[in-house]
Amino acid sequence: MKYAEFRERSSFDHEELMAFAHGRLIEDAPDTFGARLPLPPMLMLDRITTIESKGARGRIVAERDVRLDDWFFQCHFLGDPVQPGCLGVDGIWQLLGFFCAWSGGPGTGRALGCGEVEFEGQIRPHDTCVRTEIDVRRFTVLEKQGASMVIGDAVLFVDDVPIYTVKHARVGTFQGITYSDYPNLSANARGGRMER
């Protein structure tokens, strides 16, 4: 699809999210566009049902189908399978990064942190659907730095029951940080502290 159409869409199906993760969804992306979603098994969403913005605020809702054979149920824990809570938080960061790209943020996304995280339930192999609802509190494009940042509050539901609450989750996009020639040793082959 064209970049203008991508920016106007209010939902994305699984095939489109996979194309985005592979860098093939947008055929005329700007040179500054480098956003990706992680590929499975780290991709923590199957579809985005709602994405919208009004000024610096917005909303994003996504779903992921629970599968009996999900990779994390095989190892976390033997005899007591449960989805790691950190994967739910990572799904929130994935969605916020997608929101940055959809909103016109340049560069590649990175999680920057979150304020409060509360777990009040769990996701088990025979649950059906995980839904994540995020209220975007602020989205900003930092023109001079060629970056953007989004802050949101999220609630994660399993089969319509709220089980996680995350406050002030933050994601930024940055230019010049991709490591596209992996596994070669090159300029971005090593991590460490990033400038904000």
Q: Give the whole-angstrom CA distance, residue 127 versus residue 133.
A: 18
Over the stretch 133-151, which tens digit does the pLDDT of each residue have? 999 999 999 988 889 999 9
Catalytic residue among 22, 76, 126, 168: 76
Does the structure show a pLDDT above 70 at 51? Answer: yes
Q: Give the whole-angstrom CA distance, residue 86 versus residue 103.
A: 26
76 is catalytic: yes
The letter for the amino acid at 187 is A
Q: What average pLDDT does the chain have?
A: 96
Does the structure show a pLDDT above 80 at 194? Answer: no
Task: Provide the pLDDT for residue 154.
Answer: 98
Q: Give the whole-angstrom CA distance, residue 12 versus residue 52.
A: 12
Does the structure show a pLDDT above 70 at 32? Answer: yes
Task: Provide the pLDDT for residue 193.
Answer: 82
**Percent of the chain scored above 90 by pLDDT?**
93
pTM score, whole prediction: 0.96
| Exposed/middle/buried for residue 185 (C-beta within 10 Å: 0-12, 13-18, 19+) | exposed
Does the structure show a pLDDT above 70 at 96? Answer: yes
Q: Quick one: three-class SS letters along the chain?
A: CCHHHHHHCCCECHHHHHHHHCCCCCCCCCCCECCCCCCCCCCCCCEEEEEEEECCEEEEEEEEECCCCCHHHHCCCCCCCCCCHHHHHHHHHHHHHHHHHHCCCCEEEEEEECCEEEECCCCCCCCCEEEEEEEEEEEEEEHHHCEEEEEEEEEEEECCEEEEEEEEEEEEEECCCCCCCCCCCCCCCCCCCCCC
Non-local CB neighbours of 156 within 8 Å, separated by 6+ positions? 88, 91, 92, 130, 131, 132, 133, 162, 163, 164, 165, 166
Does the structure show a pLDDT above 80 at 126? Answer: yes
Domains and CATH numbers, the chain: 3-174 (3.10.129.10)
Query: Which one is predicted more confidently, 194 or 74?
Result: 74
Distances (CA, A) of 95 to 77, 98, 191: 26, 5, 23
